[in-house]
A and B are shown apart, each in its own frame.
Chain A
């Protein structure tokens, strides 16, 4: 058992797992993945690469990132990482606490005093372990670099897994001024059995859009109000600045907002339908169109939104879906018209917006893990611990020199401190 555990958590296995994740990650980036909602792209890829598609199909490469074997590899990697982190931390602790290395090389006729002075000037700290024995070190904390990096990676990996496993999300759809009560249905949910729920009523109070001169949005923010039992509390959320409230995060989505036409439609059977026909935000002032037809019984209609009067002074145009040759029937608010056998009243205009709502643990430990990885990475590169041990003897000074990780990279520094260039000197 111990041997299996040892081999699973060896450095060699970690490297092999990194290579495994790299190879299949690259394949997963090349082959569209159904698990990432890329079914349409996959169909095109299969058409363009029939031979590769057969191989990928046989090997089950269309859902790599959610496959049991890929997730198992990641889990084993996490275990290997955890054990490597413990081992590295113990090794760093030993290196941190260990006495200086035994000096071996003799500098004949030298004395320790000037060397110590030069080392101090070069930024080394001096510790006298015994009379005539000095341990000089610089950036000694750098022995922790690998350990810090691995702690950060472990924390990030564990917290990322926790976040991925526990986060639930939904999309809330609002018309201007609409209140969402607890328990109301969402526009879309990731997991219908456990949707996120703030537990208080909240309301959409409008979008604020500033644009570049071309009409492209520059900044988009939304005003939302939350009822705390006594009063409505107003909060703002914008793209790139989600709102964290009651253990939930609310995101404003770029492009998921715009104008709408509120319609009352009477079908051929006399039944009444209330419809909110959505149009996405217009960037260039040109008319915009519904992205999918609206089905009213057996009839489908589509709309054109032209608030700037480019095509017609009346902002709303309606026609039967798919009948591209037909000129749309145009309406202004309050108008009623016949469209594809339906009686349509354009009641009013409205604003709409959709927000992502997520319930998740705090993301801060993940970002703390990231910061620790960053620190460890920089320490690995820039914080190379160097140690010079001097011992005065009858014939001169014996010394040892050690620069971790970058063997021979600090030879010139060592030579400058020792005041000599000696070919017989070798670092460990």
Chain B
């Protein structure tokens, strides 16, 4: 097990290097209209994803629990789910190629931060053992990946008309970017909500209460409400385009605060998580 952990960090660094190359090639290829470079970047990202999968597998084996406790594990898992998501999307949906310009650097940042925080292993606290916790965390991973994709489309929409966007090739038109950001915000809302509810079930079985206005719970609810307000604003009040994208950026900032900052509040029951 210790051997697995010793190898795992090196495999993680290898995945990081491949993601860095992939992000560089895709950015360069897209802005300089070099489709072969862009394609090479995507291939490197896929190889990086395979290696990243191995790294997480080794971590799981070495730590004796899933990669969802320490900052290292959580950020790496978030990076993995986001990369897997965008690769699946590229296979399935036309016009999603351009999203890599935003998502690959985001994944690089997540994995870089993960490795920067250090691979210290922590034992799983007693209350963290159970299927509801695994589901709770897994749904939040998917929700956060969807939020990154949604933000990516939103930011690309916001940059439309700027000199930077003018150099990007292979991006859908502004209306399609706006629509896709809406679609993924819907997915974020769905999975964030389910993540919160599975968390409530976990809390009920662990502590005998399903809701306690814990800071992490409350911020999570706030984030969910803001995504709910965004969806209502789009569907019923016709808000779209730039205004909608800005609201989405605000929702994403709340999501980041909720997932990565509120657990540092000492009064939180989640203080074992992400430390």
Chain A contact residues, CB within 8 Å of chain B: 11, 14-15, 18-19, 21-22, 25-26, 28-30, 32-33, 36, 38, 41, 65, 156, 160, 163-164, 169, 212, 214, 216-220, 239-242, 249, 251, 254, 356, 358, 363, 366-367, 370, 373-374, 377-378, 380-381, 405-409, 412
Contact = CB atoms under 8 A, between A and B. Distances in A.
Nearest to B198: A370
Contact of B225 (A21, A30, A358, A412): A21
Given A14-B232, A19-B229, A239-B206, 12 more contacts: A18-B229, A22-B226, A22-B229, A30-B215, A36-B212, A41-B267, A163-B210, A240-B126, A242-B205, A380-B186, A381-B186, A406-B179
B219 A15 contact: no
A370 B200 contact: yes
12 contacts: A22-B229, A25-B221, A26-B219, A29-B216, A33-B213, A41-B267, A163-B210, A214-B123, A218-B126, A218-B129, A358-B208, A378-B194
Interface string B209-231: 01111011011011001101100
A419 to B, nearest CB: 19
> Taking each of A26, A242, A249, A358, which has the highest tally of chain B beta carbons within 10 Å of its own beta carbon?
A26
Contacts of B265: 29
Given A25-B218, A409-B179, A409-B183, A220 B126 contact: yes
B225 A22 contact: yes
A381 B187 contact: yes
A380 B200 contact: no
B235 interface: yes
Given A22-B225, A242-B205, A381-B183, A366 B218 contact: no
A214 B190 CA distance: 40
B233 interface: yes
A405 B229 contact: no
Given A356-B208, A374-B194, A377-B190, A32 B123 contact: no
A367 B201 contact: yes
Contacts of B218: 25-26, 28-29
Contact of A11 (B182, B193, B207, B236): B236
B89 interface: no
B197 A242 contact: no
A284 to B, nearest CB: 12
A163 B215 CA distance: 21
Contacts of A38: 267
A240 B208 contact: no
Nearest to B215: A29
**Cβ-closest 10 pairs across A and B:** A377-B190, A29-B215, A370-B197, A254-B126, A29-B218, A240-B130, A22-B222, A22-B225, A18-B225, A374-B194
B213 A241 contact: no
A377 B130 contact: no
Contacts of B225: 18-19, 21-22, 25
A234 to B, nearest CB: 21
B262 interface: yes
Contacts of A218: 126, 129
Contacts, number: 128
Contact of B127 (A41, A254, A377, A408): A254
* Chain A CB within 10 A, most for which of B198, B205, B218: B218
Interface residues of B, number: 52
Contacts of A36: 212-213, 267
B85 to A, nearest CB: 14
B179 to A, nearest CB: 6
Contacts of A19: 225, 229
A240 B211 contact: no
Contacts of B205: 240-242
B125 interface: yes
A273 B123 CA distance: 41
A45 to B, nearest CB: 10
B235 to A, nearest CB: 7
Interface string B147-182: 000000000000000000000000000010001001
Nearest to B232: A15
B222 A381 contact: no
B189 interface: yes
Contacts of A28: 213, 218
A18 B175 CA distance: 28
A183 B198 CA distance: 36
A416 to B, nearest CB: 12
Contacts of A25: 213, 218-219, 221-222, 225
Interface in B252-275: 262, 265-267
Given A21-B225, A26-B218, A239-B126, A370 B206 contact: no
A26 B126 contact: no
Contacts of B207: 251
A41 B266 contact: yes
Contacts of A30: 215
A216 B207 CA distance: 19
Nearest to B193: A377
B213 A240 contact: no
A245 to B, nearest CB: 14
B146 to A, nearest CB: 9
B229 A378 contact: no
A406 B211 CA distance: 33
B235 A405 contact: yes
A65 B213 contact: yes
Given A32-B267, A160-B211, A370-B201, A380 B190 contact: yes
A212 B222 CA distance: 37
Contacts of A251: 207-208
Contact of B126 (A29, A217, A356): A217
A363 B205 CA distance: 11
Among B198, B201, B267, the most chain A Cβ lie within 10 Å of the Cβ of B267
